[in-house]
Amino acid sequence: MGLHITGDDDADQLLTEVPLALLIGMLLDQQIAMETAFAGPLKISQRVGSMDAASIASYEPEAFAEQFKKTPAVHRFPGSMAGRVQSLCAAITEEWDADASAIWTRPEPGSDSAPNGATVLKRLKALPGFGEQKAKIFLALLGKQYGYEGAGWREASTPYGDEGSFRSVADIVSAESLTKVREHKRAMKAAAKLAKA
């Protein structure tokens, strides 16, 4: 299993191997290009020397924001997004023992099987910076590309879990699929503008 989201082998390898990096990439994926958002974790890792939830959470906030501002910037809103990344890492440290993958691997109390899709969606929505849509897209990404097999994940992530769709980062496996997802997003934006008119 290997993710192919950013077009940068090193950035994609980090996303594939480090669950926290993937979660941070999803958090950063707003108001910037998807590839830029998901390349962000590699920049953070290179600049602060870590992709560890506890280390990032305890990093001096102003210094952390400065790392976001360096060229090329991690995000077009470096100050606020640096704060969001630290809030996310603090939540993962406190609630998930600094293990991001526990969100989708740790069984519910009294169970010994992987949590189902609805449970993982609920856990994702409880994270700072993850609303309904972002949580559903991330759940679809886990199911389609990250080996998560919890029962009902497609239903819980509807419509992003739909097979054969090109709606989100969950569907990007190549340059061709990236183009299709971009076209879908453009069409959605155009439709939203028309609806407002």
> What are the domain boundaries of the chain?
9-157
pLDDT at residue 5 in the model: 92
pLDDT reported for residue 77: 96
pLDDT tens over the chain, length 197 residues: 689 999 899 999 999 999 999 999 999 999 999 999 999 999 999 999 999 999 999 999 999 999 999 999 999 999 999 999 999 999 999 999 999 999 999 998 888 888 999 999 999 999 999 999 999 999 999 999 999 999 999 999 999 999 999 999 999 998 889 899 989 988 988 888 888 87
How much is the mean pLDDT over the chain?
A: 94
pLDDT at 2: 84
Q: Where are the beta strands (DSSP E) in 98-188?
A: none
Show Cβ contacts of residue 170 under 8 Å, excluding neighbours closer than 6 positions: 137, 138, 140, 141, 143, 144, 145, 157, 160, 161
The predicted structure's pLDDT at residue 1: 64
8 A C-beta contact, residue 76 and residue 43: no
Residue 114's pLDDT is 86
Tokens representing 125? 């929505």
CA dist list (Å): 173 to 17, 58, 75, 146, 186:
16, 34, 23, 12, 19
* Yes or no: domain 9-157 corresponds to CATH 1.10.600.10: no
